Amino acid sequence: MRANFAFSTLTATALLGAASASATVLTVTPSTTTLSGVTADGSPAVTPSMTSTGVLYSDYGSTSATTFETAVVTAPTTTASGLAYLYEITTVSQTRTDTVVSADYFYWDQALKGNTAGSEYLIFSGSLGATAATTASLYVYSAGDYTGVASPFGTSVPALPSYYFRLAGTGAWTLLGSSSTTTGNEFQGGEATTFSLAAGSTTSFEVAVMAGSNVDLSNVGLVLASEFYDVHTETVTLGSTTTKTLVGAQLLAPVPEPETYALILAGLLFVGLRMRSQR
């Protein structure tokens, strides 16, 4: 069995879209790979450290705006009233607010062949650099097949691959866990861990996959990712609908002729002069 085990459980790579040219926070530089009991089947698939920016999640909503409009139905004359209708106009705009994030990630995957009946292991080494403080996520996985162990008590699954990790190349290895998912005589699975990196730091790291007797590795890989950064929201208008509702009507008073305005003005002027002379 040989599988390019697609990593779908790491949020950073599952949710983010197109990648830009280079990483902003996290950089990963492969160093050496040590193999025992197995050999590489071609070159590894490698995605160098890079930044992805995309939508983490979206909230849908709407905004509403109301205005009023007066429409003249019948214009007033000098002798008759007019009629106007009053409308309420409501515009509802559908919106989507996206939460946009960035994350840096590195991907490495190696197909294997020439497995032996005995134990085999793979150790991946490299260095990590962080330009800003971040929490790095590591996921290491493997796939392969096994031969059931026969005993007087029946046939059982042997101990499947175990996963180890350590920083700075010193001290004891940390056991992350072991594979447990099987289909027929095949297995696939992995383990994850997180660790903190300080701003401006650089450190070496090692990841190991160990398989015992009767277990043959055919694929090993890992993913490293930074935590989300540059988190911000963007609001997009998706469309709008407008409703126009009649809410009332009003009479428009007759409009006097120009001569009428002149007479009114003359009358006001006469009254003003008379009151002045009386004083």
Query: Taking the domains of the chain in order of start, what are their residue ranges?
Result: 1-279
The half-sphere exposure of 34 on its side-chain side, counting CA atoms within 13 A, is 9
- Provide the 10 A C-beta neighbour count for residue 51: 20
Flag the least confident range among 48-52, 118-122, 254-258: 254-258
pLDDT of 10: 45
Would you state the pLDDT for residue 222? 96
For residue 262, the model assigns a pLDDT of 58
| Neighbouring C-alpha atoms within 13 Å toward the C-beta of 251 | 5
| Contact in structure between 29 and 130 (CB atoms under 8 Å) | no
Laid out side by side, the sheet with 120-130 consists of 26-36, 120-130, 201-211, 162-167, 174-178
pLDDT of residue 4: 47
- Is a pLDDT exceeding 50 seen at residue 140? yes
Lowest mean pLDDT segment, chosen from 43-57, 150-164, 200-214, 238-252: 150-164
Residue 24 has pLDDT above 90, yes or no: no
User: Could you tell me if residue 184 is left (phi over 0), alpha (psi between -120 and 50 degrees) or otherwise beta?
Assistant: left
Which pLDDT band, with edges at 50, 70 and 90, does 1 fall under? very low
Nearest alpha carbon to residue 219 among 189, 258, 196, 245: 189
In angstroms, rounded to a whole number, what is the distance separating the alpha carbons of residues 63 and 237?
10
